[in-house]
Structure 1
């Protein structure tokens, strides 16, 4: 699949069929590695010249918007597939691969009636894609909200002992709670463990001797218990802090532990469900946006061809996918076949005193041409 195509149109002097045959022959002879396809565009309602000129001013901006939404959904699909660990899927439009949809393009009159004006078609496409983009933002925000909640929980479970959730590390038998006694949890820097064991009994009065037990250790800290009279707990906290020991607030509750466990399982299930739903929505929406984009490209080729070549419509529209090394050769072929009708007015700015192609790409040519980047 090519990732970059040219949509072009050439002025027809006598016969579109004869021009197409000549183009095929020239491409085959001089740039045989360049795929070439007809871009079948119906006769659309031209309207007035003023309306066409006004529309041309908006085409480039609208194209950037529609193309941008298409790429945004594609990137979202790639991210979701990578996170899900699923094999990357071939994106389709109504079951047809996107590149085939472009190269075998057929106008959908049910969605975009040819009796509508060009402005109505363009505005309809813009409105359709805007709604899909808004829906994408809402769905992604909901999914990211669940991911953020899970990330917070995971950080608490995987961070250092200074910040992580301790409920998975502390067992009921580690905690002594009575009318007078309490058990505190102290986070001790690894290099200060000897200092802790030598000093904790004397940080305040009424500390139970030899009551400290190490529960867990990570790369930075160790977690110790200490049992003492509840009425001196505040004094102990202050003295411990002065020596660089952090007393973590903790109250063991089997109900709270189970509740946190259930919340985590629910969030994991919600994340998986929302990721799957979002991925399926993106597959469908990408096809809708891509179809809208290709119809927009057809409108763009049609309107720019009328402005370039005049009325009645008489041009050959096609799609090519030249390799980088073949670009100059293909440009030369297209220029030769379009020479002789208005071509003088559509040379580059260096060749003709500053005149640029109306509504076209920054590079001017004696024919309509713009690039379609699929990725």
Structure 2
């Protein structure tokens, strides 16, 4: 199989879908690898490093898309890239289709087969290809929120850890999963007064044990959120429903309960965001103000630490990428039901229920598509 890796073109996206080590592994398995020139520069991998691994270097993305059987990326294909996809081509990347009808329609029209990192599962019920970036985004969230809290950036001017005689920032993290736990680890380390809300009592118990009383846990419901809002300096939205649009946890009307200059950090923005007033931003222009509340909603937060993120993502995706290349997507998905859960689009059919529900599109069972294929 010929595996292609184009340069990411989403604004300020410096990650790359294929590391040199992953390229070397694929070549050792008998596959050809084609990488667009400059694709790895942002993560610290120059063209010569890929050449040393045995990969060929393409001058343009058009060359990669035109000749590759499988396209490996990081972010969802942008409009110009979607036009280059073709029937029978395999796309392996993050998609986040539920809040993105335009991308969904373009992928359906292309006839390609698209497997989304974020809906591949594992035996423990986790999302192994989303987890490493969730870890990164979670750890970045308090750091980014602390920057937004600075007065020069529109925030209230509260220091996360306070100083002797002055209280630290109050931080609420809604969602105690991978993102929430990572965010809590950093926020607690910065000296903030942290509350984690979740609807899983066992998860709250786990976090209480792990943090040994250094944070507060609270069951999440509307009343609990409304009670916390007036006291919070920062709220981190960390709720995920696999493949589906994120639930709206704080409404626009509830912004009036917050203190002026409070900060909302929406880590769920890829899935539409968990605050009603959220809209995707970029690293170049990361924040905006709604009714005196600062919103940080960067849609590719891990891109800010591209080298760490690329290596972490490559470690997670490489076994799946090799399985798809070695066996073809049909056999690989037949052998691994967790990989089949990643199938979102095939030959003009939508195959992921949560996306269909969010967008009002008919869905074909991935098992049925696999049997037909």
Normalised by the length of structure 2, the TM-score is 0.21
Larger gyration radius, structure 1 or structure 2: 1
Tell me: higher relative CO, structure 1 or 2? Use CA pairs within 8 A at least 6 residues apart. Answer: 1
Normalised by the length of structure 1, the TM-score is 0.21
